[in-house]
Amino acid sequence: MTENSVFREIPLNTPNPNKNRAESDRYGWFISDSSVRANLDWPRFLDIEIPLPSPAEQQKVVKAWKAFREIKEQNEAKAAPLMQVCQSYIQELKHTYPLQEIGPYIEECNERNLEGKFAEQDVRGIATSKGLIETKANLDGVSLNSYKLVKPKEIAFVPDTSRRGDKMSLGLNDSDKTYIVSSISAVFNVDKENILPNFLYLWFCRSEFDRYARFNSWGSAREAFSFEDMKRCKIPIPPIDVQRAIVNIYKCANEAKQIAEEADRLSREVCSALLQHVINS
């Protein structure tokens, strides 16, 4: 903050990107006073100084922030009902088609990174949120030769279900790249003529499946849901065109969700950069 910075009270209904910055959170915490529970009192809040560019420059930042927020809110409004429709259709399938074990339609894959073709940037973790994510593990000095390959449209899961909050770590490789996962994981492909991998993945994303997998896990100190247990899982198998229609609804919902998340990220990063620009110009 500069010496000539002044505090300007802003109407409560006016968005203030400057107060939405992480720096403002840290500073507010730093100047909070108390013993057991810190408080930022109103008189102390009024003493906060901010750089004050011209109203025209302020308006540029506010307009950019509003535009990103509008994109975020519009896409969130689209994603929620589409996701509900998708889950409703899946639920309805149980009353329309007989439940069948998926064992005849899946095949375990045990291809390893023996030649070291895939490196650390190709390693993926398997999340309880049902996705393949960039690994958070420290791989310094770790040999990746025993890691299993997960090719496009293959599904990987962690058999151990003991300490994951009653959720199964599972993910579909919905990209055109091959990744590698820990050797403790189970990987399998799907008979695409009868079951679309994305449709099966949506079934696995249901909380009912998490409960099923946890209930059917076996062990003493550590419980596991093996590939053999997975093969005994029963699902309704509608015609491929019905599966594809449900998958397409999910993709539309997921795309809207991703756009909303990206707009939210940009609202913070771009507006922060704009603030720095108008302050320093």
Beta 186-190 vs 99-101: how paired, if at all?
Answer: unpaired
Over residues 1-8, mean pLDDT: 39
User: Would 187 be classed as within a structural domain?
Assistant: yes
Over residues 166-174, mean pLDDT: 94
Reported as a pLDDT band with limits 50, 70 and 90, residue 197 is very high
pLDDT of residue 1 exceeding 60: no
What is the pLDDT at residue 2?
Answer: 41
User: Would 131 be classed as within a structural domain?
Assistant: yes
Measure the CA–CA gap between 264 and 248, rounded to whole angstroms: 24
> Mean pLDDT score of the chain, rounded to an integer?
87
Over residues 123-138, mean pLDDT: 92
What is the pLDDT at residue 203?
Answer: 94
User: Would 280 be classed as within a structural domain?
Assistant: no
User: Would 220 be classed as within a structural domain?
Assistant: yes
What is the pLDDT at residue 30?
Answer: 81
Q: How many domains does the chain have?
A: 1
pTM: 0.76
CB 158, CB 128: distance < 8 Å: no
User: Would 148 be classed as within a structural domain?
Assistant: yes
Reported as a pLDDT band with limits 50, 70 and 90, residue 188 is very high
User: Would 183 be classed as within a structural domain?
Assistant: yes
14-23, 61-70, 78-87, 202-211: which range is least confident on average?
A: 14-23
What is the pLDDT at residue 11?
Answer: 42
**Structural domain that includes position 115:** 98-237
CATH number of the domain within which 159 lies: 3.90.220.20
What is the pLDDT at residue 220?
Answer: 78
User: Would 185 be classed as within a structural domain?
Assistant: yes
Q: Which of 252, 245, 256 is nearest to 92 (CA)?
A: 245
The alpha carbon torsion through 41, 46, 50, 52 (nearest 10 deg) reads: 150
